[in-house]
Amino acid sequence: MCGLTKATEEARLQQVASGCELQLEVVKRHQRSFEIQPRRWVVERTFAWDRRQRRLSKDYERLPEVSESVVYIAMIPLMLNRLTA
């Protein structure tokens, strides 16, 4: 799932997503009114959980592969808690 807030290049994003077998959902915001955005909270909640991990608070790694591995390692306790709950 990829959360986007602007649809400036929606056609290009749809093309890239279909090439990678991803489902793209563009959430458009309404002006001047508060409205709960669908599925946005899932992404925001995950980012909040990640920020609790000290190593993920800043991007210290040089290689993107290492950063990806650190994210996977940080998510292990969260997934274990879900499985045992």
pLDDT tens, 3-55?
A: 555 545 677 777 777 777 777 776 666 656 666 667 777 777 777 777 777 77
Supply φ then ψ for residue 31, to 5 degrees.
-85, 145
**Per-domain residue ranges of the chain:** 1-32, 39-85
Nearest to 20 by CA among 44, 2, 46, 40: 2
Q: Evaluate whether 1 touches 12 at the Cβ level (below 8 Å).
A: no
Quote the tokens at residue 81: 């808690």
Angle at 40 between CA 37 and CA 44, to 5 degrees: 135
pTM, entire model: 0.46
pLDDT tens, 42-57?
A: 777 777 777 777 777 7
